[in-house]
Amino acid sequence: MSADNNLDLVIRHADVVTASDRFRCDIGVRGGKIVALGHGLASARQEVDASGLLALPGGVDGHCHLDQPMPDGLRMADDFFTGTRAAACGGTTTVIPFAAQEKGHSLKAAVADYHRRADGRAVIDYAFHLIVADPTPAVLHDELPALIRQGYSSFKVYMTYDDLKLSDRQMLEVLDVARQHGALVMVHAENADCISWLTDRLVGEGRIAPRFHGLARPAVVEREATHRAISFAELVDVPILIVHVSGKEAIEQIRWAQGRGLKILAETCPQYLYLTAEDMGLPGEDGSEGGYEGAKCVCSPPPRDPENQAAVWRALTNGVFSVFSSDHAPFRFDDPHGKKPGGKEQPFHHIPNGVPGIETRLPLLFDGVRRGLLSLHQFVELTSYRPARLYGLYPRKGTIAIGADADIVLWDPMRKVRIANGNLHHAVDYTPYEGMEVTGWPMTTFSRGEMIVRNGEYLEPSAGRGKFLEAGLPEL
Ligand code: DUC
Ligand code: ZN
Ligand code: ZN
């Protein structure tokens, strides 16, 4: 092989898997891009042997929360540095967290603030979704159209949470803007009034332990809102994506809509495959209502039961879901700014919602490949290719192809790992998956051709090397 200074990096003997293909080749990288796929490529400044490993497109985590401003003295544990570090160690090379509008404030200001939080901190590339919490005429007619043109082409709306929720009328108005401009709306589908009525009743009865969070948000509450969101999308004639779907009843609504030819996309997350309502607090032996440890698994929608977990796995197998994201929402457990607001154990409705999972997302789903529930191609499709397309980042992200960014993960499909928080790279003091054993782990991660994790070791690339990605319009 002749020396060829043109290539910065060659990954030799790669067993490349994309959403559609599998082939063996060397991967040549120059200037952060894949420039050659072939056999016997000329030697490069850096040579890596990928024998025995899969070469996958780096993961695209299309739903995670990093350094998002929080009300009431709460604080997310992960900022753009620790969050993207953990993502990279988990085989993810692009994250898409949320620039969240506060009611009474402009959306543009939220985006500017969020850039300040990301600048100089991220170690992998990132785009932003928007959260539209106050769709005033100025937001609908000026800010949103301008932001879509500037590379923010997806936005989330909430049907619950007092500080975020939209009325049905507001939902329709936001969906209409998305239709006119080709953007994608992500919907958090839970019925706010049902939740507040159930919460008041539970609290009135003194049923306030973390596990009652699940009883305040039963499946029917998610099912009703899912159906309503689908109806709005049909009325406005625009695709939507229902995020963090937790189980059978919401899945039935989505399948029903898809069967009618509506473009209803859906996302699920690791917590709905691996956690159940019991994780929010088993009754104690003395019949007490479960301890505060259950707060670690409080998220919305809540984890349900094994039958629902099986339904979520089936829907992944059958193509009901387009994307698999972490919904990483990092609150420390033993922390007055986290799961113990004000330093005290709190009634369930004052526990910040969310679980960490940015680093464990890919290994937890890969277990479905080992169990024969998903093909390798489905795994790549759900975790990288489809999120890249839906959020306007393809073909720069989401595949291994000439011209794409060299965001590549060398994956050991046989490696057994027992998940332990001590080995993770986020800034949260727990993982809800502690002690679970998975087979398959990301060994080496390249971001735009730079090796940032080697054999599981984080190489401490410079914070701020991660670039902001202007998203194009969604490709559905
Ligand atoms: N639910 C959300 O809607 N967002 C963050 C985490 C959660 O549990
Ligand atoms: Zn949500
Ligand atoms: Zn979320």
For the stretch 356-401, pLDDT in tens is: 999 999 999 999 999 999 999 999 999 999 999 999 999 999 999 9
- The secondary structure element, H or E, covering residue 361 is helix 361-370
Same-domain pairing of 310 and 190: yes
Residue 72: burial class (beta carbons within 10 Å; 0-12, 13-18, 19+): exposed
CATH number at residue 21: 2.30.40.10
Residue 344, in any domain of the structure: yes
| Pocket lining: 271 vs ligand 1, CB cutoff 6 Å | no
Please spell the DSSP secondary structure of 93-159, one letter per residue: EEE--EEEPPTTS-HHHHHHHHHHHHTTT-SSEE--EEE-S---HHIIIIIHHHHHHTT--EEEEES
Spacing, Cα 154 to ligand 3 middle (Å) = 14
Spatial distance between the Cα atoms of 323 and 266, rounded to a whole number of angstroms: 7
Taking CA atoms only, the protein residue closest to ligand 1 atom 1 is 300
**At what angle are helices 168-181 and 219-236 packed, to 10 degrees?**
50
Query: What is the extent of the structural domain holding 429?
Result: 9-57+396-456
Is the CB of residue 327 below 6 angstroms from any atom belonging to ligand 1? yes
* Residue 241 alpha carbon to ligand 3 centre in Å: 13
Residue 100 resides in a domain: yes
Under 8 Å between Cβ of 357 and 270: yes
- Label residue 34 left, alpha or beta by phi (over 0 means left) and psi (-120 to 50 means alpha): beta
* CATH number of the domain encompassing residue 253: 3.20.20.140
Distance 232 CA to ligand 1 centre (A): 22
* 430 found inside a domain: yes
Percent of the chain with pLDDT over 70: 97
Both 185 and 323 in a single domain?
yes
CA of 448 to the centre of ligand 2 (A): 30
Residues 53 and 148 in one domain: no
The predicted model gives 44-53 an average pLDDT of: 98
User: How far apart (Å, rounded) are the C-alpha atoms in residues 87 and 326?
Assistant: 10
Average pLDDT estimate for 170-195:
98
CA of 12 to the centre of ligand 2 (A): 41
Tell me, yes or no, if the pTM score tops 0.95.
Answer: yes
Mean of the pLDDT values across residues 263-287?
87
Which is the closest atom of ligand 1 to the Cα of 188? 3
Q: Same structural domain for residues 205 and 240?
A: yes
Q: What is the pLDDT of residue 282?
A: 58
Measured by CA distance, the residue closest to atom 4 of ligand 1 is 354
Q: Are 46 and 408 in contact (CB under 8 A)?
A: no
Residue 386 resides in a domain: no
Helix (H) or strand (E) holding 92: strand 92-95
- pLDDT at position 2 is 46
Task: Reply yes or no on whether the pLDDT at 284 is more than 70.
Answer: no
Are 347 and 424 part of one and the same domain?
no
Residue nearest (by alpha carbon) to ligand 1 atom 7: 354
Q: Look at ligand 1, atom 2, and give the residue with the nearest C-alpha.
A: 300
Greatest Cα-to-Cα distance within the chain, rounded to the nearest angstrom: 77
Please name which of 333, 435, 423 lies closest in space to residue 90, comparing C-alpha atoms. Answer: 423
Written as one letter, the residue type at 374 is L
Crossing angle of helices 248-259/306-318, nearest 10°? 30
Q: Which candidate, 27, 103, 21, 17, places its Cα nearest to that of 55?
A: 17
pLDDT at 111 over 90: yes
Domain boundary among 351, 379, 407: 379
Instruction: Identify whether residues 18 and 145 lie together within a single domain.
Output: no
pLDDT, position 288: 65
CA gap 351, 110 in Å, rounded: 24
Report yes or no on 468 lying in a domain. no
Residue 280 sits in the same domain as residue 170: yes
For residue 290, what pLDDT is reported?
A: 73
User: 188: Cβ below 6 Å to ligand 1?
Assistant: yes
How does residue 5 score in pLDDT terms, banded at 50, 70 and 90?
A: low
In which order are the strands placed within the sheet that holds 264-268? 98-100, 129-131, 154-158, 184-188, 240-242, 264-268, 323-324
**Quick one: which of 191, 202, 188, 243 has its CA closest to 350?**
202
Percent of the chain with pLDDT over 90: 96
The average pLDDT across 100-121 equals 98
Where is the domain boundary, 323, 344, 379? 379
- Clarify whether residues 76 and 112 are in a common domain: yes
Q: How many CB atoms lie within 10 A of CB 343?
A: 10
Residue range 82-110: mean pLDDT, rounded: 98
Q: How far is the CA of 244 from the centre of ligand 3 (A)?
A: 7
Q: How far is ligand 3, taken at its centre, from the CA of residue 104, in Å?
A: 21
Nearest in space to 411 (alpha carbons), one of 377, 369, 440, 453 = 440
Total domain count for the chain? 2
Q: Are residues 107 and 50 in the same domain?
A: no
Please indicate, yes or no, if residue 401 is contained in any of the structural domains.
yes
Place of tokens 């020396």: 3
Q: Which amino acid appears at position 123 of this protein? A: V
- Chain-wide mean pLDDT for the chain? 97
Verify whether ligand 1 is closer than 6 Å to residue 349 (CB atom). no
The model's confidence at residue 3, banded by pLDDT at 50, 70 and 90, is very low
The reply to whether 448 and 305 lie within a common domain is no
Give the separation between CA 335 and CA 356, rounded to whole angstroms. 15
- Mean pLDDT in residue range 415-427: 98
**DSSP state, residue 59:** E
In a domain? residue 87? yes
CA 385: distance to chain centroid?
A: 13
- DSSP string of 297-338, one letter each residue: G--SSPP--HHHHHHHHHHHHHT--SEE---B----SS-TTT
217, part of any domain: yes
What integer is the mean pLDDT of 7-35?
Answer: 98
Ligand sitting nearest the alpha carbon of 245: 2
**pLDDT, mean of residues 223-242:** 98
Q: Are residues 76 and 180 in the same domain?
A: yes
Residue 64 Cα to ligand 3 midpoint, Å, equals: 6
Q: Measured from the CB, is residue 354 less than 6 Å from ligand 1?
A: yes
**What is the average pLDDT across 61-79?**
97
Token pair 């100089």: residue: 120
Query: What is the rounded average pLDDT of the residues 145-152?
Result: 98
Give the integer Cα–Cα distance in Å for 180 and 188. 21
Residues 66 and 21 in one domain: no
Q: Is the pLDDT of residue 320 over 60?
A: yes
Q: Is the CB of 386 inside a 6 Å radius of any atom of ligand 1?
A: no
Return residues with CB closer than 5 A to ligand 3 (ion). Answer: 327
pLDDT score, position 72 = 87
Taking residues 173-189, what's their average pLDDT? 98
- Residue 1: pLDDT band (50, 70, 90) is very low
The two tokens of residue 343 are 């330093």
The angle at the Cα of 314, spanning 312 to 319, to the nearest 5 degrees, equals 95
- Protein residue with its CA nearest to atom 3 in ligand 1: 300
Euclidean distance between CA atoms 375 and 362, whole angstroms: 14
